[in-house]
Structure 1
């Protein structure tokens, strides 16, 4: 989810906004901004759900959620979140394959 939101935000900021204000064409803003907004809401819900399952602090959850508003930061946040979840699974003696089979 973070990758999709991050790619849409990057396209929106790096392509859509310059086209809108320099060329007067808001097509890219419309076609990436609206999906980014809706998918960002899905990201917020899934981040909250994941945080409850793995026991993240409220500070960490808020940082993960805010990362979807800064271009390219969602990729970094997703990397650290994935690493943390895999470490917690390994500490519990569970593999990622075991979790996906359930």
Structure 2
């Protein structure tokens, strides 16, 4: 005779604890800002390169690529923890490729997650 606990008193193991969501949110926010800043620097590098034939910022595309890769990992991690639908996740991932959009999307996602999970 085994007893099963009432469903209302147990929490499913698939729900992410708030402290893990808070950590993932912080990592995502930091990477969204860093990615956005490096993307703006990439735009400046392209203007210098193609407009003025100046190669002084040739390192920027390489660094931005790696920063964007880390941003992707952090955004996917957060999306899994908060269970974003695939469309929202893809839009959030693409936000790191359009100047200024990563700042706006980061702000919106932070508002949503803080309201939804109270973190």
What is the TM-score of this pair, normalised by structure 2? Answer: 0.70
Task: Confirm whether residue 9 of structure 1 aligns to residue 39 of structure 2.
Answer: yes
Q: Which residue of 2 aligns with 1:62?
A: 90
Structure 2, unmatched stretches of 5+, are: 1-30
- For residue 31 of structure 1, report the CA deviation from its aligned partner: 2.5
The number of residues matched between the two structures is 89
Does structure 2 conserve the Cα–Cα contact (< 8 Å) formed by 1:54 and 1:88? no
What is the TM-score of this pair, normalised by structure 1? Answer: 0.81
Give CA-to-partner distance per residue, 1:2-58, whole Å, 9 cap, x none: 111101111211x21111012211222x23211110010111111111011011100
Say which structure, 1 or 2, has more relative contact order (CA 8 Å, 6+ apart): 2
Larger radius of gyration: 2
- For residue 89 of structure 1, report the CA deviation from its aligned partner: 1.6
CA distance in 2, matches of 1:26, 1:87: 45
Structure (1/2) with the larger helix percentage: 1
Spell out the pairing of 1:15-54 with structure 2 (5 A cutoff).
15-28=44-57, 30-54=58-82
